[in-house]
Structure 1
Amino acid sequence: MEDETIDPRQRLAFSPVIAPLAMEFSELCKRILRDEPTTNYIQEMVNVHTHEEHFHWQWLLEDMEKMGIDYPMRFSDAVRFLWSDHTKVSRSMLPLFERYTRGSHPIIRLVAIEVSEVTANVFFRSTMSAALQLQEMTNTEFRYYGMRHNHIENTHTLHTPASMQIMKEIEVPEEIHQKILEFIDVAFEYFTDLINEFHAYIMTHSYQVPFARVYQSEQLLSSV
């Protein structure tokens, strides 16, 4: 990701693969993590974060269009790609996180957010170089992969000094402590698999024809 001798569009050629995750995270925020109204102060912190976070998928679509990989295609082809092996990990985030967070203690929902945030910070720092190169090439801002998203991730209400102090003082009930530790391990394993999925895609697909292999595989299947 930081090798500036590689075309920045190729370094971000996994963008179609991250799309299911971006959309699912929006759904996770709106349908699973958010619980309004609430009198629980931890849940209120979660609610505020979900309102700050759920629209970021729009920036991804903008960046893909600016990179020139927003190709028109038949609806059936789009469905084939979104449910192909290329996005197997990306599209599995919602059911995985929902298993641990639906109807759960607000602390577990807060942990789900923090695991996602710390991973996002590492990820968007790694995409920064490519985004800045693209901004110089196109004279336009890349909000998802560039400075805007990275800045937002580091200035959420959850990350203000007051919120951080509140989180430090949270006492975790013993009955959910082990479940939280299990979820943290599962979540980080998921994000590791996700990055491997991105890497596999950019190693086998050109940003110039990002869906070519999907079409080829479908043609082979249809000929059987």
Structure 2
Amino acid sequence: MKEVLAFIEHKKQEFAQLPIFEFLTDKSIDPRQKLAFAPCITPFVMNIWEVNKYFFREEPTNDPIQALINVHSYEDDHHFLWYYEDMEKLGFNTSMTYLDALKFIWGPANEKARQVCYKLAAYAYQADPILKLAVIESNEATGNVFLSITAEIAREIQQITGENYRYFGEYHLAVETGHAMGTPDVESLIENIEISEEMRERACQLVEQVFAAFTEMLNEWMAYVKANKLDQVPIAA
């Protein structure tokens, strides 16, 4: 499995070069405005916990790798609660009709965000635990890149508002280490898993697909920022 992890690290470094990360690290932009795309994250945030519950998790199990995945799935399935808090504090919980909310969440601006979770579910459905683990590790790697940057933004916003932001900030980053959570020394454990050459190739194919899906989603968020004037987005002062 060590080769699969090395490939994930390679894809992670590529992922970190996406245009949205250049935008998020631009010191000339008000940190509050950098999170103007936060509503676009909704389809992913609100679906990933169900992907954990219904597709990654498999109970009962006698497979030690599946057991590791199960532990991770419980650790990772409640982050939407932190998202609720941050959206309120950032001023996004404004009045919107039911239909407007549906049109936004299931509209073209969030197409790739919806597809990410559909694809993760498809990759994990009845898959060998090794392949599930490759998908999870890829997912966690993208989250680590994203949150490493938003945590700095959250610190800057906190200096302005006095509020603590759990989803976008250090609190979330602390549990998004880039690896499956909930098991001590998990990176070493995963590295030492022996897999066949065929399984390695299949796992790396999935890694490629996961990173491609997340890349499309983040490019979609960047397109949303470009298409919507930042000073018109409701941000709490």
Q: Normalising by structure 2, what TM-score? A: 0.83
SS at match of 2:175: helix
How far apart are 1:162 and its partner, in Å?
Answer: 2.8
Q: Normalising by structure 1, what TM-score? A: 0.87
> What is the one-letter code of the residue matched to 1:105?
D
Could you list the per-position Cα deviations for residues 114-140 of structure 1 after superposition, in whole angstroms to 9, with x for gaps in the alignment?
A: 001111111111112221111111111
Q: C-alpha root-mean-square deviation of aligned residues, in Å?
A: 2.0
- Choose the corresponding residue for 2:79, options 28, 45, 56: 56
- Choose the corresponding residue for 1:20, options 30, 43, 47: 43
Could you list the per-position Cα deviations for residues 61-120 of structure 1 after superposition, in whole angstroms to 9, with x for gaps in the alignment?
A: 211110111112111111000111110100111221122210110111111110011111
The count of aligned residue pairs is: 211
How far apart are 1:3 and its partner, in Å?
Answer: 2.1
- Choose the corresponding residue for 1:151, options 174, 193, 213: 174
How far apart are 1:161 and its partner, in Å?
Answer: 5.7
> What is the one-letter code of the residue matched to 1:82?
I
Matched, 1:172 2:192: no
CA contact (8 A) 1:13 1:210 kept: yes
* Structure 1: 5+ residue stretches without partners: 212-224
How far apart are 1:175 and its partner, in Å?
Answer: 4.3
- Choose the corresponding residue for 1:33, options 56, 60, 65: 56
- Choose the corresponding residue for 1:200, options 199, 218, 223: 223
SS at match of 1:152: coil
Could you list the per-position Cα deviations for residues 197-222 of structure 1 after superposition, in whole angstroms to 9, with x for gaps in the alignment?
A: 111111222455449xxxxxxxxxxx
SS at match of 2:185: helix
CA contact (8 A) 2:72 2:182 kept: no
Alignment-derived partner of residue 92 in structure 1: 115
Alignment-derived partner of residue 70 in structure 1: 93
Alignment-derived partner of residue 154 in structure 2: 131
* Structure 2: 5+ residue stretches without partners: 1-23
- In terms of mean alpha carbon deviation, does 47-56 or 67-76 score higher? 67-76
